[in-house]
Amino acid sequence: MSEDPHTFYQSLLQKELGTYIRLREYRSISGGCINEAFKVKTNQGDYFLKVNKHMPPHFFEMEKEGLLLLKEKSNFTIPDVIALGTFEGVQYIILEFIEGRRTSTNYWESLGSKLAELHQNSHETFGGVRDNYIGELPQSNRSKEKWLDFFIEERLLPQVHLGVQNGVIPQKYIESTNALRQLLKDYFPEEKPSLLHGDLWSGNTMYDVEGQPCIIDPAVYYGHREAELAFTTLFGGFDKLFFEVYNEVFPWEKGIEERLEVYNIYPLLVHTNLFGGGYLEQVNEIYKRIDHALGY
């Protein structure tokens, strides 16, 4: 960034939106740990701008593809993608700015029903989209016919190998993860692949001006829908009405409560690779419980 920030962002916006654009002010928006994010106010309206100096150029392209797929296949409020590209070595994406509300009378019911409707979009295989990202980490979406194969080979093992390579996960986890294939045989309910947001924690949801749910920052793929429901429980923040309405619209199979932590091995491994800390110990405890309950 060769200029002062205001001039830089002014020039970036003019590159994409025209020389008539005048940046009036920009304000940093917290909530993410990967990109710098801003609300930019211009003479032509407000925009949401994300920039990143370190990720590859196709990083925001994959976010765009995810947002477009969700807009096509769901009834959620999804921000329009205005533009993306590279400017002076900085990757950026410009999105519609969605003004949020603080309260809504039927938000959780609407979120639950819309997610259930999204999950009824299916595909012939698990994966089913181009490889993308979960946070800043690459996410493989190579197609598999069986969920267990996809879960082990495209979700857990890539994260374990990455952690071993970076010295944050011990080598023994490769063997332990491979052993799950036999332990979890016939464990997951047989269901068609569902279109998932892929990174559905409370920070990636919000109200729009009408109080309806908006979802952002996707890591889309076609997966087992219980994996998405499990993700919503990992860090909390989802009201029980959300789960009740979801189950009314698209009932889940019995025993889901016991399966949730198994699905959450994946986001816990992701967080181990991103942040370290105690996430690996949580994975270890889940592995022990699986072996105790299902081992021979």
12 contact partners, CB below 8 Å, separation of at least 6: 49, 87, 90, 92
Question: Given phi > 0 = left and psi -120 to 50 = alpha, else beta, which region is 57?
Answer: alpha
Going along 106-209, which residue ranges are E strands? 132-134, 137-139, 194-196, 205-207
- Going from the C-alpha of 117 to that of each of 8, 71, 92, 253, 255, the distances in angstroms are 42, 13, 31, 17, 22
Q: Which of 199, 208, 217, 291 is catalytic?
A: 199
How far is 216 from 45, CA to CA, in rounded Å?
20
Residues 6 or more apart from 94 whose CB is under 8 A from it? 13, 16, 17, 47, 48, 49, 81, 82, 83, 84
Residues facing residue 194 across a β-bridge: 122, 223
> Crossing angle, helix 240-249 and helix 107-118, to 10 degrees?
40
Cβ density class 140-178: b for 16+ within 10 Å, e for less? ebebbeebbebbbbbbbbbbbebbeeeebbeeebbebbe
Q: Give me 129's structure tokens.
A: 């989209």
Beta bridge partners of 92: 51, 85
199 is an active site residue: yes
How far does CA 225 lie from the centroid of its chain?
13
Catalytic positions, written as ranges: 199
